[in-house]
Amino acid sequence: MHEFVRHIEIILQTTLKSPISFSGKGLHSGRPVRLKILPAAAECGIWFARTDVMKGDNLIPARWDAVKRSPLCTKIRNAAGVEVSTVEHVMAALAGCGVHNALIEIDGPEVPIVDGSAVPFVRGIMQAGLQVLGVPVRAFKMMHTITVTEGGATATLEPADTMYIDFQIDFDDKAIGSQRKSLRMNNGSFARELSDSRTFCLQADVEAMQANGLALGGSSGENAVVFEGDKVLSPGGLRHSDEPVRHKMLDALGDLALAGAPIMGRYTGTRAGHSLTNTLLRKAFATPGAVRMVVCDAEMTQRLPGYGLVWDEVPQVA
């Protein structure tokens, strides 16, 4: 398998060529769950379908205005109250692979955590391949700078000629400390640099969450990196020396994908989380003139996430 999206095809929307399936357990619920990503028509966008909900509306749009605020993950809900949580990793994989349309069937309320990163989803998408559809790609172009702040956390979207993600974290625990990284999201950088970075937490937080009925599916070394003081408790250690900040960037791409189209702009997060990134999107779309939808020509499309992705660059992890 060679170049994922051929140059002649990059100005058109995409979906998967064939369905792909995943199974596992939810990070917070611990419940077993099966998920299938199916092809969808142009202009559909990304939708989730709760196959275990037999009555009423089981379709949930993967969109910023369907987000129900949650500090630990990204949760979306439809008007009937049907919801799916922890959508950020699969959304990051779809965005990072340049998939614009898909239907995600799931038989429970939480996306399987798999290995705690997005790389299993990325590899599945690339193995299925992309089907090019007959409609041009559209993107949201940032026209003005939008910033939101909450406590000591800040998130900003500002005009740029491509999608950048710039993130900084600061932890007292020496094993994490202060980390910062910035990346352009084209030329396969998401899959190559971020997709295999796992969710992480502190040992004290694990104990507190499990005492409150959360993180029941979490397992150090299997699907999360756990830190305590100056130690990495997870067997095998880190996949990257700065894996925590890389994972925060992965989360940010997944949360920004809920815009409903790629964003041409620079996202800067300082100690930001899922809720603050959603607050940023809400403010951006509520601010007149801050965001403009544009039809992407070939030159613009080369600067979008997913362009230039090559199979050989995707991390291979156990």
| Residue 295: how many other CB atoms lie within 10 Å | 11
Question: Does residue 28 have an active-site annotation?
Answer: no
In angstroms, the CA 96 to CA 78 distance is 25
The residues pairing with 164 across neighbouring beta strands, listed in sequence order, are 184, 266
Q: Would you say residue 9 has pLDDT above 70?
A: no
Contact indicator for 72, 214 with CB cutoff of 8 Å: yes
Instruction: List pLDDT tens digits, range 73-106.
Output: 999 999 999 999 999 999 999 999 999 999 999 9
* pLDDT above 90 as % of the chain: 75
Average pLDDT of every residue of the chain: 91
Residue 30's nearest CA partner among 199, 223, 197 is: 223
Is 0.75 surpassed by the pTM of this model? yes
Architecture of the domain whose range is 10-313? 2-Layer Sandwich (3.30)
